[in-house]
Structure 1
Amino acid sequence: MSVQAWQPPRRIDAIDFWLRSRLLATAHALRETLRPSARRWTEGSHALADAPVLAHYRTPLWTDGRADEFPLVAGKVQNLRVARRAFDAVEVPAGEVLSFWRQLGRPAAWRGFVQGRELRGGCVVPTLAGGLCQLSNALATVASRAGFELVERHGHTARIEQAGEPGSDAVDATVFWNYVDLKVRARHAWRLEVELTGSELVLRIRGRGASAVPFAPVTMRRTNEDASAPLPVARGCLSCDQTACFRHRPQVDVGPQGLTVALLDTWTPEFARYLREEHPSAQRMQPVPMRLAFWRRPATGWHREPAAVAPQTPWAPWTASLRRALWQRLWARRAGRRQASLIDGQRWLAQAFAARLKPEHTQLVVEQSLLPHLQRLGALDGRSVVVLAGALPMADIEQRLDEASRRWPDDATLRDFRADPSLVRAESLAMARASAIVTPHAEVARRLAALAPQAMLRKLEWALPRAGAVVRTDADHPLIVFAASALARKGARELAAALQDWPCRLRVLGSPSDDARLWRGIGHVEYMNWQGDWLAGAHVVVLPAHVEHSPRALLRAVAAGVPVVASTACGLGALPGAREIAPGDVEALRTALRAACRADDLADAFGW
């Protein structure tokens, strides 16, 4: 049978199609209401999460169409992002049917579906929720590979350029709400996993039963069509030369690779410099800076970018920013709840950012604190992700705190908070899909290089603030500055042990500890509560922290020429003027303090 020549679409044909499709959809809805042929399966108990993979299938997201059709391809990927949540981790019992439309539901705009591409009458036309056929094709293919029964399947009338290579085992399965469906059934229980990487749609079927029927490849062709006659290549509305056609759409210039957007939580000079150099034209989303504690003096030495330097005005979510500021202020003095409030604020911020993302945003530059929340929301699906990493993964942080807790079992602050395990897993999954990781933190760089080997790692240099030289006053004992609040996670207990029987004065930059016996044996202790000139007269600045991701006080000390002793957890690396020790090593801390004083000619002055 020969392939019919393409004819320009007519409005009367479109009206006829719309009327017939509405009648068929209504009739199908009535039949399913009176006698349902399938049910919707929800994410179950993960009983088959570790079952063997029976079949898998990969299909490209961005290379299965013409370059000038990119806006519709981007819309298709967005629709796949929304649809993935309905199919991923679904477990279907033996003998039951999985229906594409029953599982997905009506594809409406309020659910996040956008204009994608749909094959209709030999044309690729813009339509709401267009592009879902790529998911139905993949589902039919992976089910066929697993030996499942395709209870209902319908073929396309044309093919998209570069889709369905001749001779492949890809199964053609079109869908159209709600009467053109795809239904799959197996004789044993099975689990479906759907994943969108930065470039591919990946489907896996897991199960513990053998394939019900032998696998037989099905080539992409129309029903009742001659197998030797290839499907015609569909014309695209954005690239077709039929400008008089009522479906013709003007081209939208979004660039060959889409748009880049930076999703930021906090401002750091290192990441600001990186964005200026590597992504100068990237759009930005960042929270509104709010200082509810306006009576406190803000930190000096680092400055935000002047408005004239910024490439464009960033979008800022006022509601999420205000809600976060109030929430964190409410729980500021509750140790365990304080960290939980930080995570709550990051989640609200990520939700606001995800709602503003457009299908054309193909590359995200994401700050690490937002990463697990965006992973949960599915906002990373189908996009290239660059991570601005300023912290260790949550799993590593909790492991280090557990080790410190075993060393100091009486200190409850080491056990006052642990993140939700699902959030920890979401962060690990997001890191595994990162294309690049950027960080100035030496310890973070070392750890993430091992955990995310697929990502290109870029180590930034720490930015030193402007700081004047420190004038030391003559005193009987040296002044040692502890560059944090008196918390066990910051190494306060190790420092207290290292300073025993030392003739010294101790200045704590932050707030005091709840344990009044912490500094027992140390003659003079003063607390700055993050106020005043805390470097005045300092001889050594020390921070033997178990966890420290923002060593700004140490960088200020280095810039002022004050010797620094810090644990490797502070991430200073080979920064001149800083000595590194292992976290929790009291003897190494004592030795490093002596060496720092000796190098600064303090040993003779104080008899050390």
Structure 2
Amino acid sequence: MHAPAQTSWFGSRAGKAWFGIRANGLRALRLIEDIAAPAGRRPASLAYRPAAGDDEGRVLAESVSPLWTSLFDDRSALVAGKVQNLRVAATKLDGLHFAAGDVFSFWKAVGRPTERRGYVEGRELREGCMISSIGGGLCQLSNALYSAALDAGMRIVERHPHSQVVPGSLAERGRDATVFWNYLDLRFRCERAFAIEARLTQDRLIVRFRGDAAPRREASSRPALRAALVGDPAPAPDDCGDCAQGECVQRFEPAPRSRSTGYLLDEMWPEFDRWIAGRLRSGDFASVPMDGVRRKRPNYAWNSVRNEGVRLVEHRWLALRRSLASRRLQAQGAARQRRLLAFDREFARAFAKAVPYDAEQLVVPVGMLAELVRTGVLGGRRYAVLMTRAPIAMLQRDLDRAAALHPESPTLADFRADEALVRLEETGLGNADSIVTPHTAVADYAGRYGVPVERLEWVFPEFAGKASQGKSLLFPASALGRKGAYEVREACAELGLEVRVLGSASEGEGFWRGTKARAAAPGDIFADVGCVVLPAYVEHRPGLLLKALAAGIPVICSPECGLPAQLPATTVVPAGDARRLVEALKAMDLA
């Protein structure tokens, strides 16, 4: 790097003040110009709707650039800040639609970069130096947009090249466009309607234009509103880490990235608690509904995240609101599912706001995954997904199969998630660093995403003594089709077995008519039980099956319950196969 001329303490501050005066004057001038600008140069009104991938038309152009480079130390907190700024700005662009003839304006779409809007200190090229500024790094996004606009044959209305070339950037190929609120803008116009996709993967910024096929022509441009520098490329910019300007007001000491991991957690699973305990380190961050250990709430009692040096953030009022709302909802049905999905989105947004911008990795539950993908929080980060339930695509496949077998059921087809939600979740799973689950069926299904699947061992609950075994069956669920109630009813009617039902919800009044069915004992549910049966189509967490096995009671279940087939005292039968269930019950000798 070249050595800049030495500047005094006073000269540095005077220069900064003069720069601010000039910038504010140019901002005022830009506002006046935009008001007076003709229609062909005036920015279009913004029309947003979520981009739908291939449904939005063919890809007109694409620009892909790395988020992390070795030119400026990729351990620097400013590089992490740049990535955070790209996350925020990309969400403003992703899904924008423009009609034929509309003028795109970078600042109209992105808005002013301020701390209140989520922007942080990032690296910015200003007057030959890489400095720290709020919103620094957005030029990587404007470069990508300009490059894609050229490839798509857009008409360039306004563009400003950088004053110096950053090695490895698009400026080396003349495809850069610097921006500075609000007077240095990037603007272009397309003769056909188009949509913008702007997304961050773990290590890349991807910008795509989609639309109908358009005649290919070379892009043309008009002169920029302000003169651009002409001549040979300037030397590579200086960086505060190597600069001798000790008196410079812009000087900062580059700080290392934290490289911390953020854990976004909901209901406690002992399997995941044990997994996290082996990975947690000082400096990590955890966001939970509440500290269940301290507040004596077992369903939120994550022991692993209470280590010294781990920052714990609670969302107690949101957890309380969800708890109260859940109690008022019916035990099952479409309304309940919609409300619970809405709470998943609320928790995801609340947790996302608490994530430190420089967190390098995240661990997230699958229920929050779709919203975290939509809001861009996962961009530029590695992340693992805790499968606290099956993927929605798997759930709906299994429910469709059950509904086809039992078309008379009022519950099996009463709710299906929105396609956009399913698509976002599938995208998140496909881009994950790993998928973590103790559920064997979910682990097998997750293989289709092409990412590593870490299969955990189930944690058996403690059970004092051994249950007294009898001749009754225990059905540890409500009488619902998705839990295999139709198959259990058919088998018990044929064999004349007594069945004890744990839940209160039902497929309908008189569902168990013709069988010896009664409610399970409210105290000891395993009293006089000879076998626990759950041939479910959907079962996320087989806690009662594990408890029965710990008590020495044999279990008959479907693969969808997630237990390994080789587990002792466990018989696995296919969901929906009443004949196989009858055969398995006969082998139990319960008559």
> What is the TM-score normalised by the length of structure 1?
0.87
What per-residue deviation string (whole Å, max 9, x for no partner) do you get for residues 16-68 of structure 1? 11101100101111221243622233125979844221221110112264226
Distance 1:195 1:389 in 2: 24
Mapped partners of 1:233, 1:562: distance in 2: 73
Shift of 1:137: 0.5
Q: What SS does structure 2 have at the residue aligned with 1:178? A: coil
Aligned equivalents of 1:98, 1:579: Cα separation in 2: 62
Structural mapping, 1:181-580, within 5 Å: 181-214=185-218, 223-226=228-231, 229-238=232-241, 240-255=243-258, 258-281=259-282, 282-288=284-290, 305=303, 312=310, 314-333=312-331, 335-450=333-448, 452-453=449-450, 455-472=451-468, 478-511=471-504, 513=506, 515-528=508-521, 531-574=522-565, 575-580=567-572
Which ranges in structure 1 are unaligned for 5 or more consecutive residues?
Answer: 217-221
Alpha-carbon distance in 2 for matches of 1:482, 1:404: 18
Give how far 1:145 is off. Answer: 1.9
Q: Which amino acid aligns with 1:593?
A: L
SS of the residue corresponding to residue 19 of structure 2 reads helix
2: CA distance, partners of 1:308 / 1:403: 43
Task: Find the aligned partners of 1:355 and 1:51 in 2 and give their Cα distance.
Answer: 33
- Which region of structure 1 is more displaced relative to structure 2, 47-56 or 202-211? 47-56
Pick from 170, 177, 180 the counterpart of residue 176 of structure 1: 180
Superimposed CA distance per residue, residues 382-424 of structure 1 (whole angstroms, 9 cap, x where no aligned partner)? 2212101122211221232222223222321223333233222
Q: Contact conserved, 1:336 with 1:417, CA < 8 A, in 2?
A: yes
- Checking the alignment, whether the CA contact within 8 Å between 1:68 and 1:238 is kept in structure 2 is no
Paired with 1:538 and 1:426, the residues of 2 have a C-alpha distance of: 43
The answer as to 2:121 corresponding to 1:118 is: no
Equivalent pair of 2:467/2:552 in contact (CA under 8 Å): no
- Counterpart of 1:42 (choices 36, 41, 47) is 47
Partner of 1:507: helix, strand, or coil? strand
1:446 and 1:80, CA in 2 relative to 1: closer, same or farther beyond 3 A?
same
Deviation, 1:170, is 5.8
What amino acid is the match of 2:255? V
1:132 aligns with 2:138: yes
Between the aligned partners of 2:489 and 2:464, the Cα distance in structure 1 is 29
Of 375-384 and 416-425, deviating more is 416-425
Cα gap change, 1:242 to 1:188, in 2 (>3 Å)? same
CA distance in 2, matches of 1:313, 1:577: 43
Letter in 2 for 1:106: R
Query: Whole-Å Cα distance in 2 between the matches of residues 566 and 143 of structure 1?
Result: 57
Contact kept in structure 2, 1:324 and 1:344, CA below 8 Å: no
Cα distance change, pair 181–308 in 1 and its aligned pair in 2 (3 A): closer
In the alignment, is residue 584 of structure 1 matched against residue 582 of structure 2?
A: no
SS in 2 for 1:323: helix
Name the count of aligned residue pairs.
Answer: 574
Q: Does 1:94 align with 2:100?
A: yes
- Mean CA deviation greater in 319-328 or 65-74: 65-74
Q: Give the C-alpha shift of residue 543 in structure 1.
A: 0.4
Superposition pairs of residues 3-42 of structure 1, within 5 angstroms: 6-8=4-6, 10-35=12-37, 37-42=42-47
Aligned counterpart, 2:224: none
Are the equivalent residues in 2 in contact too, given 1:290–1:325 (CA < 8 A)? no
Q: Deviations over 1:76-105 (max 9, x none)?
A: 111111111222222323333211112222
Report the 3-state secondary structure (helix = DSSP H, G, I; strand = E; otherwise coil) of the residue aligned with 1:321: helix
List structure 1 runs of 4+ shifted beyond 6 angstroms. Answer: 45-48
Q: Distance in 2 between matches of 1:512 and 1:206?
A: 48
Contact 2:87–2:377, Cα closer than 8 Å, also in 1: yes
Identity %: 37
What is the rounded CA distance, in whole Å, between the counterparts of 2:514 and 2:50 in structure 1? 55
Q: TM-score, normalised by structure 2?
A: 0.90
Q: Would you say the 8 A contact 2:501–2:519 is kept in 1?
A: yes
Instruction: Determine the C-alpha separation between the residues in 1 that align with 2:272 and 2:304.
Output: 15
SS at match of 2:549: helix
Aligned counterparts of 2:506 and 2:520: Cα–Cα separation in 1: 10
Instruction: Pick from 91, 94, 100 the counterpart of residue 85 of structure 1.
Output: 91
| 1-structure distance, mates of 2:145, 2:430 | 24
Does 103-112 or 351-360 show the bigger shift? 103-112
User: Which region of structure 1 is more displaced relative to structure 2, 21-30 or 151-160?
Assistant: 151-160
- State the one-letter code of the partner of 2:546: L
User: Counterpart of 2:223?
Assistant: none
Question: 1:110–1:326: structure 2 CA closer, same or farther, 3 Å change rule?
Answer: same
1:245-291 deviation line (CA, Å, top 9, x unaligned): 22222343434xx2210100111011111111133443211111689
| 1:570 aligned partner, one-letter code | C
Residue 161 of structure 1 deviates from its aligned partner by 4.8
The answer (yes or no) to whether the contact 1:148–1:212 under 8 Å persists in 2 is no
